[in-house]
A = this chain, B = another copy of it.
Amino acid sequence: MSKLKKTIHVFAPASSANLGSGFDVFGLAIDGPGDYVRMERTTTGKVRICSIKGDGGRLSKVPEQNTAGVALMAFLSAIDERSGMDVYLQKKLPLGSGLGSSAASAVAAVFAANELLGRPMNKRQLVRWAAEGERVASGSVHADNIAPSMLGGITLVRSLEEEDVLSLPVPKRLHVIVVHPHVEVKTSDARKVLPTKILLKTAIQQWSNTASLVAACYNNDLALFGRSMEDLVAEPARRVLLPYYDSIKAAAIQVGALGCSISGAGPSILAITDNTKQADAIAASMKRIYKHHRIGCDIYNTKVDTKGARVIKPR
C-alpha cells in the first residue's frame, strides 16, 4: 500500500447517449468538455465530497445524494475497501444538458479511486459501479453515458457485465457537432413523454437501425452511420420538449449533416459529418437559429474522445 499514491487528479469526458436509434444502449465520448476530480485517500473510512465547483450550487455534497458519491461508495463496497476518499469535484460541463454530466462525475470518481487503490478492476469492470450513480440522477441504472465517459470512443452496452460492455470502432473522419441550448429539460420529464409501448413494426425498423449503426462503425461508413441514427421512438416523443428542434435538425441536414438527433434526454442536439468544412457550417447554422430566437447556446464542434477517463497532471 505504501507505494500507492495518496492524491490523484483525473478527467472524465462528456458524452452523448443514444446516437438516435440506439436509445439507452449507444453512446460516444465528446472530445473537450468533461469533469475533473481531485481525490485523496484518507484514513477516515468515509467518502466525503469536500467541494464542488462549476455546478452553480445545485449539487448536493451529501455523498448519498450525489452521483459521484453514490458511485464511489458502491465501488468501494464492492471491493471491500475500508479507505476513506475525499473528493474535490470541478464540473466543466452543464447539468441536465444531455451531455452526460452526472455520468462524467461518477466515472471520474470511480476511476480515480480505482487508480489510487492500485487498479483492483479494469475500466470495463468499473462501468457497473459508476452506473450506480445514475440511480440518483435518473432513478434507474443506465450505462449509456457511463460507458463512453469511462472507455472513450463509441460504446454499446448490452448489459452491465464486463463482456457485454462493447467498444465499437470510431469511423476515422467522424466529426461531432453538439449544440447545447440554454433551456432546461429534466431527464425525468424527458422519460415521462416516452410511450410505454411501441408498435412492433416501429421496433423492427429501430433495431434494423441499431444493427446497421454497428456495421457502419466497423465499415467506416459514415453515410450509413448517419442513416442509421434515424430514431422512430424517442425523437418523435421528445422533439416537442425542445424548442425549435425541427428547425435545427432541418438546418443541419441541409448544410450536409449525415445524421442529427437528440443528445441523450436533451436539450443538446448531436449532428455528425465527415469533414471540417461541413462541421463548421452545421455549427453555424444551428447557432444562427437559436440566436434568431434569442436562445443562448454552447457549441462543441469536435471529434470523439477516444481515451475516456484518465489521470491528468494537477491543475
CA distance A223 to B164 in the complex (A): 11
Residues of B with C-beta under 8 A to A159: 208
**Nearest chain B CB to A187 CB, angstrom units:** 16
Q: Mark A153-165, 1 if CB is under 8 A from B, else 0.
A: 0001111000110
A156 touches B212 (CB 8 A): yes
A158 touches B209 (CB 8 A): yes
**Nearest chain B CB to A266 CB, angstrom units:** 17
Is A200 in the interface zone, CB < 8 Å from B?
A: yes
CA distance A140 to B233 in the complex (A): 23
- Tell me how many residues of A have a C-beta within 8 Å of chain B: 39
Residues of B with C-beta under 8 A to A22: 207, 211
A156 touches B203 (CB 8 A): no
Is A23 in the interface zone, CB < 8 Å from B?
A: yes
Q: Mark A189-206, 1 if CB is under 8 A from B, else 0.
A: 000001111111001101
Among A82-90, A213-221, A249-257, the one that faces the other chain is A213-221
In the A-B complex, the 6 residue pairs with the smallest Cβ-Cβ separation, listed nearest first, are A207-B207, A214-B214, A207-B210, A203-B203, A210-B211, A197-B197
24 interchain pairs (CB within 8 A)? A22-B207, A23-B204, A156-B211, A158-B208, A158-B227, A158-B228, A163-B223, A163-B224, A164-B224, A166-B215, A194-B200, A195-B200, A196-B199, A197-B199, A198-B200, A203-B203, A206-B207, A207-B210, A210-B211, A211-B213, A211-B214, A212-B214, A215-B218, A218-B218
